[in-house]
Structure 1
Amino acid sequence: MCHLRLSDDLRSLIAAKLQPGIEPHKLLTEIQNNITNIDRDTLATRQDILNIRKQYNIPHIQKDAADGMSTHLWVDQLATETDNPIIYYKPQGQTKDTDTLQENDFLLCIQTQFQREMMNRQANKMVCIDSTHKTTQYDFLLVTLLVKDDYQENVPVAWAIANKEDEKTLTGRPGRGVCIPKNGSNGDRPRDL
């Protein structure tokens, strides 16, 4: 059975999940957890997944086996680009003289040029915050800063990945909001600025 080819459906599914960066071992676990009958698809291996990644020219985005180091290398790589979307980065285990954050705090704030322009144009009307909890093995939060556009649709204008959701963490440095304006509002209770 090992010389049989994976079904086209499974190959397409694997390629689609590899595109956003799902790691092969997580994808393999997902496939193995959904076994309903024994066939070639249920015997998929890590090598099958790596072969599909190569066949579909899907880049391997993980920079290092350790997630913390991989993040640090990615932030360093983006720092060399002209449109660097990283507006603040504070890894766990480090302190900065300008931080109000503790050594164990983690904060990564991301904002593209478009998001910066939308924030500058629309933040005077309303700013909302929405958080997604416990989506990773590290229990970090994904905090999304949103404004309303001219059509009253929510538009994300920044993201923060943090280990805590308090004001001190999300505003970061004294006197300067990193990602979240101090007069912003909670997504559950929007208020005018």
Structure 2
Amino acid sequence: MLPLLLASSSVYRRELLARLRLPFSCSSPDIDESHQTDESAAYLVKRLSLEKARALAHSHPDHLIIGSDQVAVLNGRIIGKPHTFDKARQQLLDASGASVSFLTGLTLLNSRTGQHQTDCVPFTVHMRTLSAEQIERYLHAEQPYDCAGSFKAEGLGVSLFQRTEGDDATSLIGLPLIRLVDMLTHEGISIP
């Protein structure tokens, strides 16, 4: 088996990949993550997941490199990580009673052959109607400022949901493990 490399510095993605009980290492790619003019959200995340994997191919030959990227889409508009309390509060106010679509791009690149598998895995969160007080209590409790959509689904953020919709809940956290297992199987890796 070729060694696995996760092209990410995300602690959330590392924790998810560890669930598969395969040895892996991590390295953070340095790429421009700007959204291009007239680029759909689905195309954006697929392009960035592939660019992240390719950015590490030369320094990690003979590896299976996992690249992933995620955006949240609310009312047809991409919303990013809030980084501040005020921006997070506004994102959650805007999402209150609405649906937020999360699109996660996933690439598995074989740096030996140059062959890659790339996909976009969607997941939708239908939010409860939230009061300003609920939002502020949540933000003070969990401080999800590094999370697209301004919540941590693996934590208290789940209390903000009315329901979810999608094939792979791990895609919401940033690494769709069900699709990744399919890709690894295609590369000859047996799990479990």
Whether these two folds match at TM > 0.5 is no
Query: Which of 1 and 2 has higher RCO (CA within 8 Å, sep 6+)?
Result: 2
Which structure is larger by alpha-carbon Rg, 1 or 2?
Answer: 1
Q: Which has the higher strand share?
A: 2
Return the TM-score normalized by structure 1.
0.24
Return the TM-score normalized by structure 2.
0.24
